[in-house]
Structure 1
Amino acid sequence: MWNSILGGDDEEERDERFFDDQTTTDDELCNLSYTQRIYAFAACLIAGLLFIFLSLIVFIRPIKFALLFTFGNMLAVGSTAFLIGPAEQLRKMFDPVRVYATAVYLGCAILALICAILIHSKILTMLAMICEICALIWYSLSYIPFARRVVSDVMVRLFDTEI
């Protein structure tokens, strides 16, 4: 409304221009300022960490733990989309270097939720949560140069096995 009063584009014209122009970038699609993106990132990350902390309090209840922990992880991982944009976030997540780590992490997160919400099995939920935590660690290591190689080398030396 204020844009049309002040001489800017109104919302309908902006929507029409969006559908007509196929070469829009993430910055054009996002109306948040840099400061707002930082605040949204911080809020999402803090909310995710809060859910993870709350999940540790209810650790003896595997179903509640799985719900809080998985939701907190998704918020924390998704918080970076406010900084780099959702399309770039997805491109980085499904980059050939980390596509398998992403798929395993998302699969384990979904499996943990299914075990907790639909199956109501504490044992299966805990197994899925252990797999989810390991997959999250492996996924996170993919952003640190040579970290996965170092972890693999350590595993070979300690347990005579390779990841």
Structure 2
Amino acid sequence: MWKLKQLIPGDDDDREASLSDEESDGFCSLSYTQRLWVFFLMQRMYAFAACLVGGFACMFLSMIVFLKPIKFAILFTFGNVLAVGSTAFLIGPAQQLNMMFDSTRLYATAAYLGFVVIALISALWIHNKILTILAIICEICALIWYSLSYIPFARRMVSELMVRFCDTEL
């Protein structure tokens, strides 16, 4: 670098200043629409993070009131739905619904949403603690099955492992 500076005639300070100005114009100049798009993406990321953290906080707080199944079911289910719904900020609500009701995960989505509704009905309307706990357990299992549908071959692998571990042949 020192030899290169010696070969180029002119003042070194002017050359460095003009070079840094040209670089900064090329790297940092965004149009108004590009800046607006970056701002929009950042807001979506903040909303995603807020919903995800809020959902996990509700699920964590539900463990505090675990001995009161109705409060537990409400907090846990709300946190669960909030965490799952947070991805709608990343991909958009229409794309989220399209992915949820895709043919590969239609049954998993229906089971998950069904158990969410059953847990809320049994907690808020029926006030049956045993039914509420059973619905929450089924909701967790349905959520795991739904989440596995996004990982290639995960549901098949879990199914095969369950068959191997739970096989009753002697």
> TM class by shorter-chain length?
0.7 to 0.9
Q: TM-score, normalised by structure 2?
A: 0.75
Output one character per residue of 1:57-105: Cα deviation in whole Å (capped at 9) or x when no partner.
1111111110000000100000000000000000000000000000000
What is aligned with 2:59?
52
Q: Does 1:86 align with 2:68?
A: no
**Aligned equivalent of 1:73, options 80, 85, 89:** 80
**Aligned equivalent of 2:111, options 104, 109, 116:** 104
Cα offset, 1:141, TM superposition: 0.4
Cα offset, 1:160, TM superposition: 1.9
- Counterpart residue type for residue 100 of structure 1: Y
Alpha-carbon distance between aligned partners in 1 of 2:143 and 2:62, rounded to the nearest angstrom: 16
**Aligned equivalent of 2:45, options 38, 47, 55:** 38
Q: TM-score, normalised by structure 1?
A: 0.78
Alpha-carbon distance between aligned partners in 2 of 1:91 and 1:112, rounded to the nearest angstrom: 25
- Counterpart residue type for residue 58 of structure 2: F
Alpha-carbon distance between aligned partners in 1 of 2:85 and 2:48, rounded to the nearest angstrom: 9
What 5-or-longer segments of structure 1 have no aligned partner? Answer: 1-31
Cα offset, 1:137, TM superposition: 0.4
What is aligned with 1:64?
71
What 5-or-longer segments of structure 2 have no aligned partner? Answer: 1-38
Q: Does 1:128 align with 2:100?
A: no
Alpha-carbon distance between aligned partners in 2 of 1:112 and 1:160, rounded to the nearest angstrom: 31
Give RMSD over aligned pairs: 1.1
**Aligned equivalent of 2:124, options 111, 114, 117:** 117
Give me the identity figure in percent. 71
Alpha-carbon distance between aligned partners in 2 of 1:149 and 1:57, rounded to the nearest angstrom: 35
What is aligned with 1:25?
none
What is aligned with 2:150?
143
Alpha-carbon distance between aligned partners in 2 of 1:77 and 1:60, rounded to the nearest angstrom: 25
**Segments ≥4 residues shifted beyond 4 Å:** none
Larger Rg: 2
- Counterpart residue type for residue 158 of structure 2: V
